[in-house]
Amino acid sequence: MTEPLEYQITLYPDPLLRKPSEPVTAFDDELAAVVAAMFERMRASKGVGLAAPQVGLKRRILVLNHTGEEGDDLALVNSEILELAGPRTTYEEGCLSFPGIYGEVLRPDRCKVRYQTLAGETVEREFEGFQSRVIQHEQDHLEGVLLIDRMSPADKLRNKIAFDNLVYDYKQALAKAGR
């Protein structure tokens, strides 16, 4: 038996977070293990969603559980937002790649998504409310779009020191690793 995968959260400003993700082509045991490990990391980090780039993978995978209830786990592979609809609402969003940072983000209330299941089956489904917002946030990650890109100028200014600290810590980690 192979050891379970264990991921750490990739923090801003790691350049991987800015790269568009690549499609998944193999729907196999490895994919299932990756998704299981992503759910584990999401829960351990007290998040409601997680995209593969946030754990260092350039793959089009996102996981979410908008309620925290066991039966509400959802994994979307090769997801694509087909349509955004409904009233646009503002909600304070956080992001595991930006620990402790929150900002108001305006998003449509509903989205229609085409994705594949872990078995490779293609599904089209509509989501609304908080679940739609989580999907839109995680889908942004697959395209290299980050929370800081969606924040208002006021929220960027309010969080400037926290952003600067993340950049400083990242540069220190690179220097320590000799890169």
Query: Does the annotation count 126 as an active-site position?
Result: no
Q: Which of 3, 40, 70, 138 is catalytic?
A: 138
Q: Strand, coil or helix: what is 65?
A: coil
Which phi and psi angles does 8 have, rounded to 5°? -110, 155
Q: Show Cβ contacts of residue 28 under 8 Å, excluding neighbours closer than 6 positions.
A: none
d(C-alpha 162, C-alpha 179), whole Å: 23
Strand partners, 102: 94
Residue with tokens 């192979």: 2
Residue with tokens 């309010």: 158
d(C-alpha 54, C-alpha 41), whole Å: 10
Q: What residues act catalytically?
A: 138
